[in-house]
Amino acid sequence: MPTESNHDIRAHEQDLLRLLEFNPQQGYIGLGGRRVMLMRSETFEGQRAELIEELGAERARSLYSRLGYADGTRDAGLAQQQRPDAALDEAFLVGPELHAVFGMAAVETVTIKTGDQQQSFYGEFLARGSIEADAHQKVYGLAPEPVCWMQSGYASGFASAFVGSPILFREVECMAMGDEACRLVGKPLAAWREQDPDAAYFHPLEFVNRFEPAEIQAETSDVEAALGQRVVGISAAFSLIMSRLKKVAPTQATVLLQGETGVGKEVFAKTLHRVSANPDGPFVGVNCAALPADLVEAELFGVERGGFTGAVNSRPGRFERADGGTLFLDEIGTLSFSAQGKLLRALQEREIERVGGTETRPVNTRVVAASNIDLFQAVEEGRFRRDLYYRLSVFPLQIPPLRERKEDIPLLMEYFRQKYTARHGIAAIGFTPQAVAGLMNYQFPGNIRELENMVERGVILAAGASLIGLHDLLGESELQQYLLTSKFDESSEQGPMERFTALLSADVEALPDIKQMERVLIDLALQKSGGNLAAAARLIGLTRRQFAYRVAQGASPGN
């Protein structure tokens, strides 16, 4: 397909081309700090055809849709950074322009309506020269239905992350069907569902991303309880974990979940139980770190009357209570060596003895263990039994931290918004674009648990407002962390002082608006104070709270 010369490219696309970096000596091509690669169209054509033949058209479509969605989510953050002062409609066009830069298709805007409320979003685009349509036609000829799956997924992911609410783009015309161009129409997910479309292609598996109220109400009357047990994500890292979880779920194999604090290990354990061969059996969870050292064995294996001082009644332990189901042992690395030895025997023999008892009791309990420390390192340091480690790690799953699966952040934000608007009875229909962009740039040391707390706080603080802003989400500790991990505006060749001086000396016919002045002034104050909020506030005559509010509103480093 012929390309436009640089002279023909619109001026506002030049900023995107400047993001491209070619370094043949290092074997590196980059776009906006992310590594990319060139792929021949014949290679893509062969890859796509083989996936369709191996997986079937439905699974291949789901895979390509999710890959496109994740890519669009990442590019939405880039759009906010590249054009922070542009009107919402103009900044939104970064998505279609990036799609063209990557050689996927030349995109023409038919109409775009972002509006003040997410529920009024409407977008319609024409894509000409689609590489997906071309690849499909070369192998299969004319298609009976639209085939530009990555393109639809990309548009959906970009719009959802950019607007701050779930947006679904559907391809209603396709060049592979003989149409002149591919036509994509995007509307809020709720608006499509009124027409009963099939949005299932964005679910990596049948039990993932099922948190729409209508879907939950069809399964259970306890919507809030169900919302606490859902796994949500669309990134490649998340999809890999869920694929492995689905494979091990029907077996009786012991599973070891490892990951940082707050990544959601218990939610993954509950999901594993829910899709296991015994979903109706009990799920019993225990935090090993919360058990007193002298009562660990009694809690796990039970106790007979008189087994120790104060044991006036016999009672079953967690293993017996989980018989026929799943026992979740969280923070297993805190168990004493004595308890580790008895746990090893229970796993090997599938039987236990109560404390103070002599009777051996068989148990049919599937054990899922979890740890936020590296158990192998603990073994090497002599803090954990080697034989127990190998017994537990029959099927290890390493859950990645949220900072390594940022494509999942907009979906998780929407999930928690629905959860806490239902719990607190507060109407908040979505997030501002600045809120989504801000959290996409945040490092989340507390992982998903921290994000959940932020969204609950935002729902409460935004009561009476339709949209949740970044200032509603970030508390003082998170805001300080945000400033420490964010970068000052390095896309500009000038520092804050030079930018401020340039604005003041600008021609009277082209004076900047007050938002530009405020952003540069805040950047300058933060730079001079080394990121200290209180000191920066004093420099420009504001209280710390006033200053923090302005930073969270969007006048912040790198925003």
Q: What is the pLDDT of residue 244?
A: 93
Q: What is the mean pLDDT of residues 270-275?
A: 92
pLDDT in tens, 395-452: 999 999 999 998 889 889 988 998 898 888 888 888 888 788 888 888 899 999 999 9
Give the number of residues written for the chain.
Answer: 559
- Residue 88 or residue 317, greater confidence: 317
Confidence band, pLDDT 50/70/90 cuts, at residue 94:
confident
What pLDDT shows up at residue 160? 87
| CA distances in angstroms from 294 to 138, 285, 291, 369, 534, listed in the order given | 70, 19, 8, 21, 48
pLDDT digits (tens, 9 = 90+) for 146-190: 999 999 999 998 988 888 888 889 999 999 999 999 999 998 877
pLDDT at res. 120: 77
391 versus 223: the higher-pLDDT residue is 391
- Mean pLDDT for the chain? 81
Residue 557: what pLDDT? Answer: 41
Residue 5's pLDDT is: 36
Residues sharing a CB contact under 8 Å with residue 61, sequence separation 6 or more, in sequence order: 149, 201
Given a cut of 60, is residue 487 above it in pLDDT?
A: no
DSSP state of 512: P
- Give the pLDDT confidence score for residue 453 in this predicted structure: 94
pLDDT at 498: 53
Across 286-299, average pLDDT: 87
For the ranges 36-40, 204-208, 217-221, 406-410, the lowest mean pLDDT is seen at: 217-221
DSSP-based three-state secondary structure for 263:
coil
Distance from C-alpha of 134 to C-alpha of 41, rounded to nearest angstrom? 9
More confident residue, 351 or 523: 351
Domains parsed from the chain with CATH numbers: 11-202 (3.30.1380), 251-402 (3.40.50.300), 405-553 (1.10.8.60)
71-101: b or e for each residue (b if 16 or more CB lie within 10 Å)? Answer: bbbbbbbbbbbbbbeeeeeebbbbbbbbbbb
Q: How large is the angle between the packed helices 57-82 and 236-248, nearest 10 degrees?
A: 150
Indicate the range of 35-44, 316-325, 507-516 predicted with least confidence. 507-516
Say what the pLDDT of residue 490 is: 40
Instruction: Summarize pLDDT for 65-82 with one digit per residue, the tens.
Output: 989 988 998 888 777 777
pLDDT band at 218 (very low <50, low <70, confident <90, very high): very low
Secondary structure (DSSP) of 194-231: TT----GGG-SSTTBS---HHHHHHH-S-HHHHHTT-B
pLDDT in tens, 231-245: 888 888 888 898 899
pLDDT recorded at residue 399: 95
Helix, strand, coil percent content, the chain, rounded in steps of 5: 50, 15, 35
* Residues whose CB falls within 8 Å of the CB of residue 245, separated by 6 or more in sequence, listed in order: 268, 271, 272, 275, 397
The per-residue pLDDT for 558 is: 43
pLDDT of 221 strictly over 70: no
Q: How confident is the model at residue 217 (pLDDT cuts 50, 70, 90)?
A: very low
pLDDT tens digits, 521-541 = 787 787 777 777 777 888 887
For 112-148, write each residue's pLDDT tens digit.
887 655 567 899 999 999 999 999 999 999 999 999 9
- As a whole number, mean pLDDT of residues 284-289 equals 93
- Give the pLDDT confidence score for residue 536 in this predicted structure: 80
Q: Where are the beta strands (DSSP E) in 349-391?
A: 351-353, 360-362, 366-371
Q: Given a cut of 60, is residue 291 above it in pLDDT?
A: yes
